[in-house]
Amino acid sequence: MELKQLEYFMAVCRELHFTRAAEKMRIAQPSLSQQIRLLEHEIGTPLFDRIGKKTVITEAGRILQQHGFQVFHELSQARAAISELQGLERGTLKIGALLTVVNYLLPPTVISFHERYPQVELSVLGLRTGDIYEGLLQNELDLGIVYLPMQHDDLETIPLYTDHLVLAVPMDHPLAKEPNVSLDILKETPSVLLPSSYFLRQFLNEQCRALDFAVQPVIEMTTLESIIQMVRKGVGVTVLPKAYLDYIDHPHIRAIPIQNPVLTTQIGIVYRKNKFLCAASRVFMEQLIAACV
């Protein structure tokens, strides 16, 4: 089995589409298909089922995929360990961060880190919690900034701080004069929220179910900026982290504490337990933890 064949196989596993996988690997689709056939011949069993236009991983394919993760994990560990010989003179650091914290939490640490270690190639990606989870397990990310808890046998977490969720309303809204509100205000008040695939919305849904109702937003939007614009225009209210609203400090939006129940979330760092933490990762974590104290 050749390493390049395993790379092609893992690409097809990610895409479940031969043409897209070939495009990602920058080779012709017939060449990729041929390499997969050779790999299947060497292993002695199909790795994918082709059902019409759908590509499905077989049980043998899933076994190979899990071992493939470990193979490329060990290779990345070797590269990181060798790069450590150069200390912080060069290297890469890839971080996946929640969309809600990319703007207000990370910039000071990112700027400070880059000023001290300009040779380290730093990438910060705003992602959903689930994407960060997968990126860490597939060795595509070095660190994640996520909502806790995030539980997996291969993941380690470090709490950073606790944040409150609050109701955001336009200044001319009737609720803007209230000192606080209860969550069941969402029963009768139009709202604009993140889709249910986002952690914050899932958390909010759980809290509403505990009060025996299901929140029904008039609009769902995937970016905080667009939600804030909808709130500003009076389309509906929303529920967002207080730290984010404090950061944007919008002159036409008021954040109202939610008292019944009080909604808190915990933000933390997550990384793979068995991943070699290069000097860049360690220093960045130390700086971020210090900034949150």
pLDDT tens for 164-179 read 999 999 999 999 999 9
Does domain 3-80 bear CATH number 1.10.287.4070? no
- Domain boundaries defined on the chain: 3-80, 87-161+266-292, 163-263
Least confident among 54-58, 98-102, 193-197, 229-233? 98-102
Tens digits of per-residue pLDDT, 247-257? 999 999 999 99
Provide the token pair at 179: 């000192």
pLDDT at 136: 93
Q: What is the spatial distance between Cα 176 and Cα 217, in angstroms, rounded to a whole number?
A: 19
Select from 262, 275, 287 the least CA-distant residue to 154: 275
pTM: 0.69
Tens digits of per-residue pLDDT, 93-124? 999 999 888 888 899 999 999 998 888 889 99
C-alpha triplet 285, 290, 292: angle, nearest 5°: 100
Cis before 261? omega within 30: yes
Q: What is the mean pLDDT of residues 59-87?
A: 81
Topology annotation, domain 87-161+266-292: D-Maltodextrin-Binding Protein; domain 2 (3.40.190)
34 pLDDT higher than 60: yes
pLDDT at 240: 96
Tell me the pLDDT band of 274, cut-offs 50, 70 and 90: confident
DSSP assignment letter at 138: T
SS3 163: strand
Instruction: Judge whether 273 and 160 are in contact, CB under 8 Å.
Output: no
3-80 with 163-263: one CATH topology?
A: no
Per CATH, the number for 163-263 is 3.40.190.290
Q: What is the spatial distance between Cα 185 and Cα 211, in angstroms, rounded to a whole number?
A: 11
Instruction: Judge whether 143 and 93 are in contact, CB under 8 Å.
Output: yes
